[in-house]
């Protein structure tokens, strides 16, 4: 059942090229420019004319929502708010029938997310679900939705569901941008091909496993980790830190790299591993300066970079080189070595990777 792997988590990490492709199968065809999400067809009008998109979720699904905020705003120029379901539901939020609410959930059973949906529904909003489990409570409670089709995710740490969620949200953002006319035909066609090329790049990134395992062996006894990224890689930093915390019980924090100097920089010393996601994108130069700042304080630098990077290689203690991609889709690749890093550290520390203490696969109590 674990398909020859020691743990479900590792199996699920390795399934990602296929699960992302499965998620796009029959929906996206770059050559013909075809992009169809069955669940969205009847609600396209509402989606296109929404004043605002509100995304609500918990945990890793909330991180996927943060990536979507960047995607929707960049491609479709619609204001987006990303809300922790638990805060949203108790805040008496301002919601109207012009809002399009997207609820993201792997299990489709998360109590807070379900309650947030009920609340938004009462206020007249349109609710769209991005769920993995077919027929789940959230899938049933929403007006419409698109499944992520990642297949069953057994490991408590979410991996392939996260990349499938981002894949669905990326397709939604491209569709919306095209329909609203904020994406030109040629830009849209290019982005479709970029997205279609992702599974092969994830396959390549998975080959970094050995290298990541060696890094894990060196830092498995660290007491703290910091994860930093900017732009599309900021949510990836949060996700990398969450993965490490939940399965290895090492304290880790994710931050937008620029926030470092507003506090976390005080933590940096020669014992502190800092994981930077520093791929070649529009915030690259800024991230490089942040790396310099950490280096000046003798922090240990582990950097996820774009293949062929020379600048960061000279500064970092370790680099993990991933294939180049359009920056909007880089999270689908850059998260992979971070999943592997947390996996190996947890195994080396003797932790129960698939069923970490105090955690359940679906949080059905608030
Ligand atoms: O099933 P959901 O996506 O609604 O679950 C949300 C969170 O409980 C979940 O992502 C949790 O944070 C994971 N254990 C993270 O790996």
Pocket flag, ligand 1, residue 158 (CB < 6 Å) = yes
**Ligand 1 atom closest to Cα of 159?**
16
Q: 3-class DSSP state for residue 75?
A: helix
Q: 3-class DSSP state for residue 260?
A: helix
Pocket flag, ligand 1, residue 60 (CB < 6 Å) = yes
Percent of the chain with pLDDT over 90: 98
d(CA 303, CA 280): 12
Separation of CA 189 and ligand 1 centre (Å): 33
Pocket flag, ligand 1, residue 363 (CB < 6 Å) = yes
Separation of CA 59 and ligand 1 centre (Å): 5
**What residues are annotated to the active site?**
361
Phi–psi pair at 23, nearest 5 degrees: -65, -30
Question: Tens digit of pLDDT for each residue in 169-202?
Answer: 999 999 999 999 999 999 999 999 999 999 999 9
Residue 173 contacts residue 76 (beta carbons within 8 Å):
yes
**Ligand 1 atom closest to Cα of 361?**
14
Q: Which residue has the tokens 């698109």?
A: 146
Separation of CA 57 and ligand 1 centre (Å): 9
- Residue 1, pLDDT above cutoff 90: no
Confidence grade of residue 366 (pLDDT, cut at 50, 70, 90): confident
Backbone Cα Rg of the chain: 20
In 10 A of CB 214, how many CB atoms?
11
Nearest CA to 145 among 109, 108, 93, 182? 108
What is the average per-residue pLDDT within 57-81? 98
- Rounded to two decimals, the ipTM of the complex is 0.99
Question: Tens digit of pLDDT for each residue in 37-54?
Answer: 999 999 999 999 999 999
| Residue 264: C-alpha distances to residues 25, 304, 314, 336 (Å) | 42, 20, 24, 25
d(CA 123, CA 142): 14
**Ligand 1 atom closest to Cα of 107?**
1
């Amino acid at each position: 059942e674990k398909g020859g792997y020691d743990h479900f988590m590792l199996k699920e990490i390795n399934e990602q090229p296929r699960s992302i492709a499965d998620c796009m199968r029959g929906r996206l065809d770059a050559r013909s420019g075809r992009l169809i999400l069955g669940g969205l067809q009847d609600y396209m009008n509402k989606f296109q004319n929404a004043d605002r998109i509100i995304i609500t979720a918990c945990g890793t699904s909330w991180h996927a929502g943060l990536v979507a905020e960047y995607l929707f705003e960049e491609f479709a120029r619609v204001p987006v708010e990303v809300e922790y379901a638990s805060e949203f539901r108790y805040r008496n939020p301002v919601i109207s029938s012009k809002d399009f609410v997207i609820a993201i959930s792997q299990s489709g059973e998360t109590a807070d997310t379900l309650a947030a949906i009920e609340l938004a529904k009462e206020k007249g909003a349109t609710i769209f679900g991005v769920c993995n489990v077919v027929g789940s409570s959230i899938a049933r409670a929403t007006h419409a939705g698109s499944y992520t089709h990642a297949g069953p995710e057994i490991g408590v740490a979410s991996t392939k569901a996260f990349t499938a969620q981002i894949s669905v949200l990326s397709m939604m953002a491209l569709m919306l941008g095209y329909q609203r006319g904020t994406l030109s035909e040629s830009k849209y066609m290019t982005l479709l091909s970029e997205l279609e090329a992702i599974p092969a790049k994830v396959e390549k990134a998975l080959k970094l496993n050995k290298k990541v395992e060696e890094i894990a062996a060196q830092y498995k006894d660290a007491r703290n980790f910091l994860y930093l990224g900017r732009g599309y890689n900021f949510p990836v930093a949060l996700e990398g830190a969450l993965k490490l915390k939940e399965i290895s019980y090492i304290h880790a924090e994710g931050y937008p790299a620029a926030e470092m100097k507003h506090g976390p920089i005080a933590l940096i010393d020669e014992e502190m591993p800092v994981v930077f996601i520093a791929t070649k994108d529009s915030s690259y130069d800024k991230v490089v300066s942040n790396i310099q700042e950490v280096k000046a304080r003798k922090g240990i630098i582990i950097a996820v970079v774009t293949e062929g990077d020379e600048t960061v290689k000279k500064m970092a203690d370790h680099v993990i080189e991933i294939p180049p991609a359009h920056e909007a889709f880089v999270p689908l690749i850059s998260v992979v070595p971070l999943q592997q890093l947390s996996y190996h550290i947890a195994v080396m520390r003797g932790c129960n990777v698939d069923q970490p203490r105090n955690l359940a696969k679906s949080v059905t109590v608030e």
